[in-house]
Structure 1
């Protein structure tokens, strides 16, 4: 029940009570007015009970995990389907919370959705949400206008090849030649020209000859 409706109930109650106390004379009219007053009192009580209902604690909130996202130059948009929310909730119970510039949480009645370690920092002051009939859309304002490759930050991983492991007993010059051969085989044209030039200069300095692959 909305607050404007509660105000109307209070006004109706006061007006009907005034008529009952000061103007109604016929018993049948008084009975009708008392019945209406009882109905309005029940509505007032129902509204008060809902308004004072205990707010769920963090531990009682039900986590949501399904979401979709996309982005523009300025915003990242998070989509939450209301099909996953099994209990109705009022707009005033929606809370968008930012613990810091890299995470957020939104509370939807007895449900919550959280994302931490966002790909980049966001402007919390200019971030907001919208509710439609079928979903909640959260607009996260990018602090820097750049494309996000993912919604959350992840450290770049380095692939370690066991073949590249250095042999502590190997001849340093042999290891260097092996490395240069590998760089030549895997490099682009510019890299190959640079390495070929180095080999040429090394040969003319009478250093150990290296066979090109």
Structure 2
């Protein structure tokens, strides 16, 4: 499918999302939109790499593969949401080899030819809108820092993405229904969302789960949540 068709699909999903009232329909449309956006990113990266290889006129670049990044930290201030991506030696890259493409609700980081490899990070469905024109990135020692300007200054982001928000809401809703067995309810929620989600959703769930386990261990040594081992992460 062409990038133009995928962009048309995204636009249609946005239109339907604005009209949808049922939570299940909204979830399905959000997932379809995220999937189309991922395909757009992948096609754009492939096209960029192909153009670079053609311009170089040699076979060396053909051996370079794109490594998808999934791990990052984030923080926020009143004006910015900040992402921190660890990449050893990234400070040695040329300025134009580290690029970030923003949309109102997503970002795509591309690092070209770092120790003979390309690296990419895509974050879709940001919780709130960002100001594309005022967002930027900095290259630091062994790290890329991305500064996303909040479209609404002072707005608090309790999570980074809409997917994480849905996970949190489901956790809270199910835990209220099952006060006698909150750990079992949480495990069931995570399993259900993991099994029905796409690859990016699964990565997000795995990250959220790891963070919840770390918090549980910190607050109550030996009292962490169990049972997640059944997930084939």
**TM-score, with normalisation over the residues of structure 1?**
0.45
